A and B are shown apart, each in its own frame.
Chain A
Amino acid sequence: MPVVWIPSLMRSLTDGKEQVPIEGETLRAVIEALESDFPGFKARVIDEDRIRPGLAVSINGEVTNEGLRQKVGPNDEVHFVAAISGG
């Protein structure tokens, strides 16, 4: 199943766990499953049914441009990272 790397500032929600294997075939499903196991998680990363502004989700190192609909595979790594723009 996919593994979510928990941002360090959110590990208080996951009892200190740095990585959490969790079921889900889409990013939305993964986050819902995390919310079920670790209440409060969803509100920290989602705002109005979208990934929070300023935040991005990386699947195996690729920042997704498909938002919560992004497919997640059983061997995927999911990371919540700062959204990067540039100059």
Chain B
Amino acid sequence: MATKTEDYLGKTDYKVVGTRPIRHDGTDKVTGRAIYGADVRMSGLLYGKVLRSPHAHARIKSIDVSKAEQHPGVKSIITVADLPLQEDRIAELGEGAANLTHLRANVLADDKVLYHGHAVAAVAATSLNAAEEALHLIDVDYEELEPVLDVRKAMESDAPLLIENQTTSSMGEDTGTKSNVSTHFQHKLGDAEAAFAAADIVVEREFDTATVHQGYIETHNATGHWSTDGTVTVWCSTQGSFTVREQVAQLLDLSVSRVKVVPTEIGGGFGGKIRVYLEPLAAVLSKKTGRPVQLVMTREEVLQATGPTAGSYIRCKMGAKKDGKLVAAEAYLAYESGGFPGAWAAPGSMCIFAPYDIENVTIDGYEVLVNKPQTMAYRAPGATNAAFASETVIDEICEKLGTDPLEFRLANSSKEGTRRADGPVFPRIGHEECLKAALNHPHYKSKLEGPNRGRGVASGFWFNVGLKSSAAASVNTDGTVSLVEGSTDIGGTRTSIAMQLAEVLGIPAEDVKPSVVDTDSVGYTDVTGGSRTTFATGWAAYEAAQDIQRQTIGRAAKLWEISEEDVTCEEGVYRSKSDPSKSMSFKELAGKLDDTGGPLVGRAAVDPAGVGGAFATMIVDVEIDEETGKIQILRATLCQDVGKAIHPSYVEGQMQGGVAQGIGWAINEEYFYNADGRLANGSLLDYRMPTALDLPLLETEIVEVPNPGHPYGVRGVGEVPIIPPPAAVANAVYQAIGTRMEVLPMSPARILEALWAKGNGKS
């Protein structure tokens, strides 16, 4: 079903939307009854482990599993030879596309390992200990190759090539030159060169951002059971059961109808649980052993071998007139893809200047292979790196102009009708409203005093996406509604989706019983990602409710023996227009289904247009410890346009979560590789994510500029809050110590270096 952008209902008097009911899965989650992937148990279960490369870059000369096969507990060992060969082609995998050769070689290395931790073989055994012992008995003969870990070095013409036949694609044209640069994007608007020449103030800086991980608490896991009828069932922690089905089917040369994926509860994803790692291994090991097989990653495996976000090098230049008008911008963005080509420089390039109305822009983006794990999405992928650069440069322009940084942003803000650098024109958006909310916020109006303290601000933009969703809802005779959906619930979406159904039917959210079901039990649904779930699956629930409403009106007409045209329904009460004495609640009507035709099911499948982009503006106060270099976050506030907050508590939770992660990027998080390309901090002890002790209560200001493309005005909230924090913190650090920080993270060591370079004080 295609939907149109005039779908917004324009209502303000909601009964359910905008309230804060208790989440439907709350009790199971807090009592430990919820079933996660590693909780799955079944008779005859075998335990799997993966042998991983100790090298960052090496050719596999041979793999000898003969000794491991003699281990009494070992039931099967597989290598890439057990995965069907794949054509070198791009397959659509639900949300996004993937080269199947690369996907297969990432699941199990083919002729080369491309990063430390790259999977080489997998074992199924009767116990975890036996599986681990067997890994030590597998002999792999490697020819070590020179690794390349720095994005700029990897772009040099004499850099070691990771994929030897890789060439650069530029908007569908292949350069034919072998290179680690897989893709080049470019956007041009106006004449940046001439505009820079005419600008009064030009600021240009270079930035580096580190490889960081999403840090979901639950590690990857998969349990596979290959049935004797040739079908396979996979239980796993995923953001998208249907994309897992598609990937497993493609990799194992199966039709999708032979693969069933059961999504278990998920302990975080943030973009990192979309690509498959263990799922095909569990399936193949089960096929070979005839028994179910479960694999669960350790934290070290997650950090070594699943997709972190792209580290990057960005050069950013912006020009303004003395009157405060931004007139030109230019950016060069080189993003690490890891061992296989990726896709995050594209959105980074499209987002870097999107918050501002600038007529002359040139942007070049590059995807570059390096010997690190293949990157994955991480909340607004590519945009956080980009905003760190552009928002820092804007802050410096404000300083040179002597302008308030929020007022400057407001004067230059994108608005409805502004043309983005990549071409399209913005529909109704809410950046100006976010900036005004920040300007008027008590945080911004408060005074910040004391040594080594500073305040910074920054904005960010993310597109959000729509994609496909399905929902089905059955009316129960007690007046409740059982709702089945395919969107795995990461942030409270069972409730936010159920509320949209409840609003239409005029029933309490608690009377909807939402369930996230397997791929055989609901229509196709894309991933929980791209800030799409409350928007698109919520829309499917809204349509399913409309379907129920149409049918219940018919049932009421049948009961009263009047025409359907004579029946109205408002807020869950059915009335006869011609006879006011005839009225009935939804619950009463549900109790009479058997007398009016039997079961009643509403359903919908949507692929909605009308996606509403999101903006956020952050204010942050910091204090620098001169002795340790630690950045203490004193106060942080995010003002975000969410369109319409269906469940404000979960919206605030997403805003706080995104800010917390963005602060992690800003102050601590970083993959450390040694000179050989081995990850040196593969644990949460050494990979330092912020904890509650590192952060104050993160303040949230929900801004609601309804998205005209959704019945309730929803935009989607999960991604944009991660974008502003690194730049906002960097701008605050500048105010505190007088140094423009150009490298993420701004770790204590880097802050100390900055302080020492300035003689321990602000210049």
Contact = CB atoms under 8 A, between A and B. Distances in A.
B175 to A, nearest CB: 11
B369 interface: no
Interface stretch (A5-13, A21-29, A30-38): A5-13
B36 interface: no
Interface in A58-76: 58, 60-63, 65-66
Nearest to B90: A53
Contact of B377 (A45, A65, A81, A87): A87
16 contacts: A8-B187, A8-B188, A44-B171, A54-B343, A58-B423, A62-B611, A79-B424, A82-B185, A82-B347, A82-B349, A83-B97, A86-B377, A86-B380, A86-B381, A86-B462, A86-B531
B426 A86 contact: no
Those 8 A-B pairs whose CB atoms lie nearest each other, nearest first = A87-B271, A86-B530, A87-B377, A44-B172, A82-B346, A53-B97, A9-B171, A8-B188
A86 B464 contact: yes
Contacts of B245: none
A66 B607 CA distance: 10
B57 to A, nearest CB: 26
Contacts of B719: 86-87
B749 to A, nearest CB: 28
A31 B262 CA distance: 41
Given A82-B185, A86-B271, A62 B423 contact: no
B424 A77 contact: yes
B532 interface: yes
A64 to B, nearest CB: 8
A8 B172 contact: no
Given A8-B186, A45-B172, A85 B422 contact: no
A1 interface: no
Chain A interface size band reads 20 to 34
B465 interface: yes
A77 B425 contact: yes
B705 interface: no
Nearest to A58: B424
Contact of B424 (A55, A81, A86, A87): A81
Given A5-B423, A81-B350, A84-B530, A62 B609 contact: yes
B88 interface: no
A52 B381 CA distance: 21
B24 interface: no
Contacts of A87: 214, 269-272, 376-381, 529-530, 718-719
A34 B390 CA distance: 35
B173 interface: yes
B463 A10 contact: no
A85 B186 contact: no
